[in-house]
């Protein structure tokens, strides 16, 4: 079988499928690249929960529960650290409107049986002394953690190689369709890679693969996120100990402190096509909002800026499992949750590829949910 796309989703699927005894290849000019190279790596099914997205919550919780073992297995096999840290997350309110919204979110968590704890502003600052004095309260979610997307991608590339996955380091430029079935791809080098089954895991380029018949996959739109990387001082205790997030002027802002001293600040949300330009306005807004949340941030060295493309399906939930084209499956459209959903996507797709049965956990996410409904 062939996986088109060597980002963390494609690599996860390839690795797990190879572990199930399948012969697996991956087509990608730069395996381990993609949106995870930019992403902050928050594992936040609870603090990123949106009203009406309960099925996605179930999937996210299932993936979060697998993360520690997934990361430990990768490290044991490859010797590479994934940067997985069980830090928890603090979502804070900067004014009384934010506080009302967070209180409603807290009540919603309660109705869903999710563990989150309401804290006063003073209690928030006791946990994170660098927070602005004006913080009005917050929610502590002890089970929303973090992983380093770059380290995770490197460990997945190594684990795939150890499991016998073959890498074709070139772009897939055409899906081959023979007798109404997917039959592999043609690469930019001209080589044809034949495959009994093909998995499309090419993020926001998935539906653009030439040769893909109309209507097989809905459009997966690119949603740009600009992200900053700063360096925290190591002396005098931690600058931040856990993920901190807030909604500032309607934008989701988060700060993710890594064990190695990197502080990731994200992210803008921009629908501008396949554009990954870092703009002065994007950097300004992130620094302005982060400064409101943690004023001391302006003292830190700014070491990197970048932009990635979240792959957004029409309903912002992933596309998992078989498509209307025989022998073509999808693993894409993970939007804001690609890093979080990597372990569960890998397991679900590997199950499907090994047994022909898609596990029930994936049933809300099959691509056919977008097929036109034919009246009975």
Q: Interface residues with ligand GLY (CB under 6 A)?
A: 42, 48, 225, 266-267, 310, 336
Helix axes 54-78 and 342-355, enclosed angle (nearest 10): 90
Residue 283 CB, nearest approach to ligand GLY (Å):
15
Question: Smallest distance from the beta carbon of 339 to ligand GLY, in angstroms?
Answer: 7
CB-count burial class (<10 Å; 0-12, 13-18, 19+) for 247: middle
Q: Which is nearer to ligand GLY, 146 or 206 (CB)?
A: 146
Residue 192 Cα distances to 29, 31, 186, angstroms:
15, 19, 4
Closest CA to 342 of 144, 69, 60: 60
> CB-wise, 106 or 252, nearer to ligand GLY?
252
152 vs 182, which CB is nearer to ligand GLY? Answer: 152
Cβ 14 to ligand GLY shortest distance, Å:
23
What is the token pair recorded at 50?
A: 């949106």
Cβ proximity to ligand GLY, 140 vs 310, nearer residue: 310
- Least gap, CB of 45 to ligand GLY (angstroms): 10
CB atoms within 10 A of CB 176: 18
Closer CB to ligand GLY, residue 266 or residue 282?
266
Closer residue to ligand GLY in complex, CB, 31/225: 225
From the CB of 343, what's the least distance to ligand GLY, in Å? 16
Minimum CB distance to ligand GLY smaller for 151 or for 186: 151
Closest residue to bound ligand GLY by CB: 336
CB of 310 to ligand GLY, least distance (A): 5
Q: Nearest approach, Cβ of 78 to ligand GLY (angstroms)? A: 25
* Smallest gap from residue 375 Cβ to ligand GLY (A): 37
C-beta of 205 vs 336, nearer to ligand GLY: 336
């Amino acid at each position: 079988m062939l996986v088109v796309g060597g980002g963390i989703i494609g690599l996860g699927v390839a690795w797990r499928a190879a572990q199930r005894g399948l012969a697996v290849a991956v087509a990608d000019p730069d395996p381990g690249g993609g949106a995870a190279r930019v992403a902050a790596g928050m594992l936040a099914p609870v603090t990123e929960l949106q009203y009406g997205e309960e099925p996605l919550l179930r999937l996210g919780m299932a993936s979060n529960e697998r993360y520690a073992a997934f990361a430990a297995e990768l490290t044991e096999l490859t010797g590479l650290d994934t940067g997985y840290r069980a830090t928890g997350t603090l979502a804070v309110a900067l004014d009384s409107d934010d506080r009302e919204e967070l209180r409603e979110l807290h009540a919603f968590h309660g109705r869903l049986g999710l563990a989150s704890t309401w804290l006063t502003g003073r209690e928030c600052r006791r946990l994170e002394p660098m927070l602005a004095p004006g913080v009005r309260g917050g929610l502590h979610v002890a089970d929303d953690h973090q992983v380093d997307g770059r380290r995770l991608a490197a460990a997945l590339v190594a684990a795939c190689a150890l499991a016998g996955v073959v890498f074709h380091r070139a772009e897939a430029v055409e899906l081959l369709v023979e007798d109404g079935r997917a039959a592999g791809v043609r690469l930019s080098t001209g080589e044809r890679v034949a495959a009994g089954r093909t998995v499309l895991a090419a993020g926001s380029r998935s539906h653009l693969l030439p040769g893909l018949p109309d209507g097989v996959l809905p459009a997966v739109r690119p949603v740009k996120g600009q992200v900053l990387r700063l360096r925290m001082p190591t002396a005098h205790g931690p600058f931040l100990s856990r993920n901190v997030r807030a909604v500032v002027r309607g934008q989701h802002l988060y700060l993710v402190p890594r064990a190695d001293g990197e502080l990731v600040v994200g992210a803008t949300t921009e629908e501008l096509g396949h554009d990954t330009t870092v703009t002065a306005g994007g950097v300004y807004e992130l620094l302005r909002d982060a400064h409101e949340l943690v004023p001391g941030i302006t003292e830190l060295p700014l070491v990197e800026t970048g932009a990635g493309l979240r792959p957004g399906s029409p309903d912002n939930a992933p596309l998992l499992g078989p498509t209307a084209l025989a022998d073509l499956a999808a693993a894409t459209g993970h939007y804001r949750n690609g890093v979080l959903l990597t372990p569960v996507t890998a397991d679900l797709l590997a199950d499907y590829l090994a047994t022909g049965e898609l596990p029930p956990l994936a049933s809300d996410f099959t691509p056919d949910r977008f097929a036109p409904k034919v009246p009975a």
